[in-house]
Protein backbone atom coordinates (compact mmCIF):
# COMPACT_ATOMS: atom_id res chain seq x y z
CA UNK A 1 0.00 0.00 0.00
CA UNK A 2 1.13 3.55 -0.67
CA UNK A 3 2.72 5.16 2.40
CA UNK A 4 0.52 8.28 2.38
CA UNK A 5 -2.67 6.24 2.09
CA UNK A 6 -1.49 3.97 4.88
CA UNK A 7 -0.71 6.96 7.12
CA UNK A 8 -4.22 8.41 6.79
CA UNK A 9 -5.83 5.01 7.29
CA UNK A 10 -3.98 4.66 10.59
CA UNK A 11 -4.29 8.28 11.68
CA UNK A 12 -7.41 10.23 10.74
CA UNK A 13 -6.68 13.38 12.72
CA UNK A 14 -3.80 15.46 14.02
CA UNK A 15 -1.46 14.56 11.15
CA UNK A 16 1.61 16.80 11.22
CA UNK A 17 3.41 17.48 7.95
CA UNK A 18 6.59 19.54 8.29
CA UNK A 19 8.23 21.37 5.40
CA UNK A 20 12.01 21.62 5.17
CA UNK A 21 14.23 22.93 2.37
CA UNK A 22 16.68 20.47 0.82
CA UNK A 23 20.27 21.64 1.35
CA UNK A 24 19.38 23.95 4.27
CA UNK A 25 20.84 25.17 6.58
CA UNK A 26 23.91 23.33 5.17
CA UNK A 27 24.23 21.48 1.88
CA UNK A 28 24.43 18.12 3.66
CA UNK A 29 21.72 18.84 6.24
CA UNK A 30 18.90 17.29 4.19
CA UNK A 31 18.72 13.71 5.50
CA UNK A 32 19.75 14.68 9.05
CA UNK A 33 16.90 17.18 9.25
CA UNK A 34 14.47 14.55 7.94
CA UNK A 35 15.67 12.02 10.52
CA UNK A 36 15.19 14.60 13.32
CA UNK A 37 11.68 15.37 12.07
CA UNK A 38 10.74 11.69 12.05
CA UNK A 39 12.29 11.10 15.49
CA UNK A 40 10.37 13.99 17.04
CA UNK A 41 6.86 13.28 15.81
CA UNK A 42 6.42 14.51 12.22
CA UNK A 43 4.02 12.13 10.44
CA UNK A 44 4.93 13.31 6.97
CA UNK A 45 7.77 15.36 5.48
CA UNK A 46 7.43 17.89 2.68
CA UNK A 47 10.87 18.39 1.21
CA UNK A 48 11.26 21.63 -0.74
CA UNK A 49 13.47 21.69 -3.81
CA UNK A 50 15.08 25.14 -3.81
CA UNK A 51 14.25 27.41 -6.75
CA UNK A 52 15.24 30.98 -7.52
CA UNK A 53 11.67 32.18 -8.13
CA UNK A 54 9.35 30.37 -5.69
CA UNK A 55 5.95 31.98 -6.38
CA UNK A 56 3.98 30.69 -3.40
CA UNK A 57 6.68 31.05 -0.78
CA UNK A 58 7.10 33.83 1.71
CA UNK A 59 10.38 35.54 2.67
CA UNK A 60 11.52 32.87 5.15
CA UNK A 61 11.23 29.94 2.74
CA UNK A 62 12.57 32.09 -0.12
CA UNK A 63 15.63 32.93 1.97
CA UNK A 64 16.15 29.22 2.80
CA UNK A 65 15.91 28.43 -0.93
CA UNK A 66 18.48 31.09 -1.77
CA UNK A 67 20.83 29.76 0.93
CA UNK A 68 20.39 26.17 -0.29
CA UNK A 69 21.17 27.20 -3.88
CA UNK A 70 24.24 29.09 -2.65
CA UNK A 71 25.23 25.93 -0.75
CA UNK A 72 25.24 24.13 -4.12
CA UNK A 73 21.92 22.24 -3.95
CA UNK A 74 20.63 20.91 -7.28
CA UNK A 75 18.09 18.24 -8.20
CA UNK A 76 20.92 15.82 -9.09
CA UNK A 77 22.61 16.50 -5.75
CA UNK A 78 19.28 15.97 -3.95
CA UNK A 79 18.76 12.54 -5.52
CA UNK A 80 22.33 11.66 -4.57
CA UNK A 81 21.55 12.59 -0.95
CA UNK A 82 18.29 10.63 -1.00
CA UNK A 83 19.79 7.47 -2.53
CA UNK A 84 19.62 5.44 0.72
CA UNK A 85 17.30 7.55 2.85
CA UNK A 86 14.67 4.81 3.04
CA UNK A 87 17.08 2.73 5.17
CA UNK A 88 16.50 5.24 7.98
CA UNK A 89 13.26 7.07 7.25
CA UNK A 90 9.90 5.37 6.93
CA UNK A 91 7.45 8.30 7.13
CA UNK A 92 5.97 9.42 3.80
CA UNK A 93 7.99 12.09 1.98
CA UNK A 94 6.67 14.41 -0.72
CA UNK A 95 8.80 16.68 -2.89
CA UNK A 96 7.57 20.25 -3.29
CA UNK A 97 8.90 22.43 -6.07
CA UNK A 98 8.31 24.31 -9.29
CA UNK A 99 8.01 23.03 -12.82
CA UNK A 100 10.86 24.87 -14.56
CA UNK A 101 13.81 23.06 -12.89
CA UNK A 102 12.01 19.74 -13.37
CA UNK A 103 11.63 20.38 -17.10
CA UNK A 104 15.33 21.27 -17.29
CA UNK A 105 16.17 18.01 -15.52
CA UNK A 106 13.70 16.11 -17.74
CA UNK A 107 10.24 15.58 -16.28
CA UNK A 108 10.06 11.82 -16.79
CA UNK A 109 13.65 11.36 -15.57
CA UNK A 110 12.72 13.32 -12.48
CA UNK A 111 9.64 11.17 -11.73
CA UNK A 112 11.57 7.96 -12.42
CA UNK A 113 14.34 9.00 -10.03
CA UNK A 114 11.86 10.15 -7.34
CA UNK A 115 10.08 6.80 -7.54
CA UNK A 116 13.37 4.90 -7.48
CA UNK A 117 14.70 6.56 -4.29
CA UNK A 118 11.40 6.13 -2.43
CA UNK A 119 9.58 9.47 -2.71
CA UNK A 120 5.82 9.18 -2.24
CA UNK A 121 4.33 12.21 -3.92
CA UNK A 122 4.75 15.59 -5.57
CA UNK A 123 3.45 19.10 -4.90
CA UNK A 124 4.10 21.33 -7.92
CA UNK A 125 1.94 24.45 -7.50
CA UNK A 126 2.55 25.83 -10.98
CA UNK A 127 1.25 22.81 -12.92
CA UNK A 128 -2.28 23.87 -13.96
CA UNK A 129 -5.09 21.32 -13.87
CA UNK A 130 -5.44 21.14 -17.69
CA UNK A 131 -1.70 20.54 -18.26
CA UNK A 132 -1.64 17.99 -15.45
CA UNK A 133 -4.42 15.97 -17.07
CA UNK A 134 -3.05 16.20 -20.59
CA UNK A 135 0.73 16.15 -20.16
CA UNK A 136 1.90 15.01 -16.74
CA UNK A 137 -0.67 12.75 -15.09
CA UNK A 138 0.27 9.53 -16.88
CA UNK A 139 4.01 10.03 -16.26
CA UNK A 140 3.44 10.70 -12.55
CA UNK A 141 1.17 7.64 -12.21
CA UNK A 142 3.65 5.45 -14.13
CA UNK A 143 6.18 5.94 -11.31
CA UNK A 144 3.59 5.35 -8.58
CA UNK A 145 3.75 8.89 -7.21
CA UNK A 146 0.86 10.73 -5.61
CA UNK A 147 0.10 14.22 -6.90
CA UNK A 148 -1.24 16.81 -4.48
CA UNK A 149 -3.18 19.84 -5.67
CA UNK A 150 -3.67 23.06 -3.69
CA UNK A 151 -7.05 24.69 -3.06
CA UNK A 152 -7.57 28.19 -1.63
CA UNK A 153 -10.50 30.14 -0.15
CA UNK A 154 -11.05 31.58 -3.65
CA UNK A 155 -11.30 28.17 -5.37
CA UNK A 156 -14.88 27.51 -6.49
CA UNK A 157 -16.74 24.50 -5.10
CA UNK A 158 -16.89 22.90 -8.55
CA UNK A 159 -13.15 23.32 -9.03
CA UNK A 160 -12.37 22.01 -5.52
CA UNK A 161 -14.30 18.83 -6.39
CA UNK A 162 -12.40 18.45 -9.66
CA UNK A 163 -9.01 19.01 -7.97
CA UNK A 164 -9.98 16.51 -5.28
CA UNK A 165 -10.85 13.98 -7.95
CA UNK A 166 -7.46 14.48 -9.67
CA UNK A 167 -5.39 14.49 -6.46
CA UNK A 168 -4.17 11.43 -4.65
CA UNK A 169 -2.57 11.19 -1.22
CA UNK A 170 -4.15 14.32 0.22
CA UNK A 171 -5.46 17.74 -0.73
CA UNK A 172 -3.45 20.79 0.34
CA UNK A 173 -5.87 23.40 1.72
CA UNK A 174 -4.11 26.76 1.57
CA UNK A 175 -5.48 28.79 4.47
CA UNK A 176 -5.41 32.05 2.49
CA UNK A 177 -4.36 33.32 -0.90
CA UNK A 178 -1.31 35.05 0.51
CA UNK A 179 2.21 33.65 0.63
CA UNK A 180 3.49 31.12 3.17
CA UNK A 181 4.46 32.22 6.64
CA UNK A 182 2.22 35.28 6.87
CA UNK A 183 0.68 36.18 10.23
CA UNK A 184 -3.03 36.60 10.11
CA UNK A 185 -6.28 36.36 12.02
CA UNK A 186 -7.33 32.71 11.74
CA UNK A 187 -11.13 33.18 12.11
CA UNK A 188 -12.03 33.77 8.41
CA UNK A 189 -9.91 30.69 7.65
CA UNK A 190 -12.09 28.63 9.98
CA UNK A 191 -15.21 29.50 7.94
CA UNK A 192 -13.51 28.34 4.74
CA UNK A 193 -12.22 25.13 6.37
CA UNK A 194 -15.70 24.38 7.71
CA UNK A 195 -17.05 24.67 4.14
CA UNK A 196 -14.32 22.33 2.87
CA UNK A 197 -15.23 19.82 5.55
CA UNK A 198 -18.87 19.90 4.48
CA UNK A 199 -17.92 18.95 0.90
CA UNK A 200 -16.97 15.43 2.10
CA UNK A 201 -14.02 15.17 -0.27
CA UNK A 202 -12.46 11.82 -1.20
CA UNK A 203 -8.95 12.85 -0.12
CA UNK A 204 -7.85 13.73 3.40
CA UNK A 205 -7.05 17.46 3.72
CA UNK A 206 -4.04 19.12 5.31
CA UNK A 207 -4.05 22.85 5.99
CA UNK A 208 -0.99 24.95 5.19
CA UNK A 209 0.16 28.62 5.27
CA UNK A 210 0.14 30.42 8.62
CA UNK A 211 0.36 27.27 10.79
CA UNK A 212 3.19 28.01 13.18
CA UNK A 213 2.56 26.73 16.71
CA UNK A 214 0.43 24.50 18.92
CA UNK A 215 -2.59 26.81 18.79
CA UNK A 216 -2.78 27.23 15.00
CA UNK A 217 -2.01 23.51 14.52
CA UNK A 218 -4.85 22.48 16.85
CA UNK A 219 -7.29 24.94 15.25
CA UNK A 220 -6.51 23.62 11.77
CA UNK A 221 -6.92 20.05 13.02
CA UNK A 222 -10.50 20.78 14.11
CA UNK A 223 -11.48 21.11 10.46
CA UNK A 224 -8.99 18.95 8.59
CA UNK A 225 -7.00 15.74 9.00
CA UNK A 226 -3.95 17.73 9.96
CA UNK A 227 -1.73 20.65 9.04
CA UNK A 228 1.53 21.66 7.42
CA UNK A 229 4.15 23.77 9.17
CA UNK A 230 6.85 25.41 7.04
CA UNK A 231 8.21 28.90 7.70
CA UNK A 232 8.11 28.62 11.49
CA UNK A 233 10.18 25.44 11.37
CA UNK A 234 12.69 26.88 8.88
CA UNK A 235 13.15 29.84 11.25
CA UNK A 236 13.67 27.47 14.16
CA UNK A 237 16.60 25.66 12.49
CA UNK A 238 18.30 28.61 10.80
CA UNK A 239 21.09 28.87 13.39
CA UNK A 240 22.33 25.29 13.06
CA UNK A 241 22.09 22.50 15.67
CA UNK A 242 19.10 21.19 13.76
CA UNK A 243 18.63 18.15 16.00
CA UNK A 244 18.09 20.12 19.19
CA UNK A 245 16.13 22.88 17.42
CA UNK A 246 13.82 20.31 15.80
CA UNK A 247 13.18 18.56 19.11
CA UNK A 248 12.30 21.82 20.87
CA UNK A 249 10.16 23.11 18.02
CA UNK A 250 8.08 19.93 17.62
CA UNK A 251 7.67 19.56 21.37
CA UNK A 252 6.16 23.02 21.37
CA UNK A 253 3.68 22.07 18.66
CA UNK A 254 2.71 18.58 19.80
CA UNK A 255 2.86 18.71 23.62
pLDDT in tens, 24-76: 999 999 999 999 999 999 999 999 999 987 666 788 998 999 999 999 999 99
Q: What are phi and psi of 139, to 5 degrees?
A: -65, -45
The answer to whether 57 is a known catalytic residue is: yes
- Of these residues, 9, 26, 46, 198, which one is catalytic? 46
- Residue tagged active-site, from 57, 120, 146, 164: 57
CA distances to 97, 114, 115 from 110, rounded to whole Å, are 12, 6, 9
Using H for helix, E for strand and C for coil, what is the string for 142-174? HCCCEECCEECCCCCHHHHHHHHHHCCCCEEEE
Is 116 a residue of the active site?
Answer: no
Q: CB neighbours of 35 closer than 8 A, spacing ≥ 6?
A: 88, 89
Whether residue 237 contacts residue 245, with contact meaning beta carbons closer than 8 Å, is answered with yes
* pTM greater than the 0.85 cutoff: yes
CATH topology of domain 12-254: TIM Barrel (3.20.20)
For the chain, the domains span 12-254
169-218 per-position pLDDT tens digit: 999 999 875 545 555 566 677 888 888 989 989 999 999 988 999 999 99
Strand 146-147 versus strand 44-48 pairing type = unpaired
Amino acid sequence: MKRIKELFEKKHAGVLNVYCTAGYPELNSTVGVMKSLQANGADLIELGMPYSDPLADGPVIQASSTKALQNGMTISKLFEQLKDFRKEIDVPVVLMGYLNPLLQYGFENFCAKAGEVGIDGLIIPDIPMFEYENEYKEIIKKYNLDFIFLVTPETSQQRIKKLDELSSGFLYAVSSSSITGSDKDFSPVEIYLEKLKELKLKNPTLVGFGIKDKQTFQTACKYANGAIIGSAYIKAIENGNTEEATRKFLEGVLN
